[in-house]
């Protein structure tokens, strides 16, 4: 395997794990949050700004990069790391989520998924073999197997069909993989059926992947349903492999999932919300277009080392009200820094066997002290 995974400690009161993921481009301290760089760019941030947030690993999108600029172009320019100037580890997803998000444009057969490009409408076919080939050309450290994602709620027969296909496609991805410096993660599906999730996890476990992701959640279900699926699924995954919950990004979801044994996360929420004038804080979300911040001299959060917190709330509000580009950049920096600080705090709490105390402290602040 191109990666290695070391468990350092398990929290005494929960299933939270403190681990290290070693990759060809460096180590990642787990639990970890990966910033999303869909098109080889975390929107609005230069690489030095991104690194200053504490990010160690980022995510790229196979489907989108295959359309623009094309994986051949990325490969010709030295691979994804050199192309975007990011020296650290990169994970690329497989395009499976687009089977859900672009469902009105997709036709799925056992062989492949055929899309209408959201850019110009031309036909794009992604098979398990094609998904692996694209990711190998991109040169990411971790590649994801192509899975079949469906929306929730859905008919049981539809969910079962997609789950069984995800297992068959995972095996095909494994057979197609050729790069010794790239590791392949499988993705557990199963909707909101715990028995189906367990079945899928066991099938994929037998195939012995380098890591295991939990997909098809955070697509409209309640948090309690998502956590119920984690409680069914995570115990079925190998203890000596990383566990990655895909696309889940609310701070409270991260901590609840870590408590259940999840190691890795990604989501566009910190940057998307930042571009829309919403800052994450320990006292809840802060919506800076609110008039009450117009003459507020305080930083977003005391003790936060980010560039945004060297300015006042009033100044940050002004940037958004004036349509200045700096506003979305600064709040994206703050939100990513907040997420990395949250993960760093979680890692320390796990090491000290006080993760549940840490989780409850954060939840109280988010739930009972709205920042406005």
Count Cβ atoms below 10 Å from residue 287 Cβ, excluding itself: 18
Q: What's the CA gap between 229 and 241, in Å, rounded?
A: 19
Cα 364 to the center of its chain, rounded Å: 25
Q: Which two tokens stand for residue 106?
A: 């997709």
DSSP helix/strand/coil, 36: strand
Residue of 11, 147, 253, 266 marked catalytic = 266
Question: Does an H or E element contain 266, and which?
Answer: strand 264-266
Count Cβ atoms below 10 Å from residue 156 Cβ, excluding itself: 12
Helix axes 251-259, 326-351, angle to 10 degrees: 20
Q: Which two tokens stand for residue 182?
A: 């790239």
CB 46 within 8 A of CB 55: no
> Which 8-state DSSP code applies to residue 117?
-
Q: How many residues does the chain have?
A: 372
CB 264 within 8 A of CB 242: yes
Residue of 93, 147, 253, 296 marked catalytic = 93
Catalytic site residue 93? yes
Q: Which of 276, 313, 249, 338 is nearest to 43 (CA)?
A: 276
Q: What's the CA gap between 339 and 35, in Å, rounded?
A: 9
Q: What's the CA gap between 12 and 14, in Å, rounded?
A: 6
Q: Which two tokens stand for residue 10?
A: 């398990």
Catalytic site residue 263? no
Q: Which two tokens stand for residue 7?
A: 């468990």
Residues with a catalytic annotation lie at 93, 266
């Amino acid at each position: 395997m191109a990666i290695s995974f070391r468990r350092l400690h398990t929290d005494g009161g929960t299933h939270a794990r403190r681990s290290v993921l070693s990759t060809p481009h460096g180590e990642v301290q787990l639990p970890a949050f990966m910033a999303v760089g869909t098109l080889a760019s975390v929107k609005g941030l230069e690489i030095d700004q991104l690194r200053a947030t504490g990010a160690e690993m980022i995510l790229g999108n196979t489907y989108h990069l295959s359309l623009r600029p094309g994986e051949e172009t990325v490969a010709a320019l030295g691979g994804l790391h050199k192309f975007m100037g990011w020296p650290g580890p990169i994970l690329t997803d497989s395009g499976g989520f687009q089977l859900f998000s672009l469902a009105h444009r997709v036709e799925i057969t056992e062989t492949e998924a055929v899309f209408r490009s959201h850019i110009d409408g031309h036909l794009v076919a992604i098979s398990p073999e094609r998904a692996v080939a694209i990711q190998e050309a991109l040169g990411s450290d971790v590649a994801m197997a192509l899975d079949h994602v469906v929306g929730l709620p859905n008919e049981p027969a539809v969910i079962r069909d997609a789950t069984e296909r995800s297992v068959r496609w995972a095996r095909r991805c494994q057979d197609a993989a050729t790069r010794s410096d790239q590791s392949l993660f499988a993705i557990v599906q199963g909707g909101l059926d715990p028995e189906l999730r367990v079945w899928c996890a066991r099938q994929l476990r037998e195939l012995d992947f380098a890591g295991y992701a939990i997909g098809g959640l955070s697509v409209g279900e309640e948090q309690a349903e998502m956590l119920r699926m984690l409680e069914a699924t995570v115990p079925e995954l190998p203890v000596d492999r990383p566990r990655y919950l895909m696309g889940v990004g609310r701070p409270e979801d991260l901590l609840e999932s870590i408590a259940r044994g999840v190691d890795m996360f990604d989501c566009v929420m910190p940057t998307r919300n930042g571009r829309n004038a919403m800052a994450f804080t320990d006292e809840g979300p802060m919506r800076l277009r609110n008039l009450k911040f117009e003459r507020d001299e305080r930083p977003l959060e005391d003790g936060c080392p980010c560039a945004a917190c060297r300015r006042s709330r009033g100044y940050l509000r002004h940037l958004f009200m004036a349509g200045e580009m700096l506003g979305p950049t600064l709040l994206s920096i703050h939100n990513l820094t907040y997420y990395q600080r949250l993960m760093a705090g979680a890692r320390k709490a796990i090491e000290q066997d006080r993760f549940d105390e840490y989780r409850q402290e954060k939840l109280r602040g988010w739930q009972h002290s709205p920042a406005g």
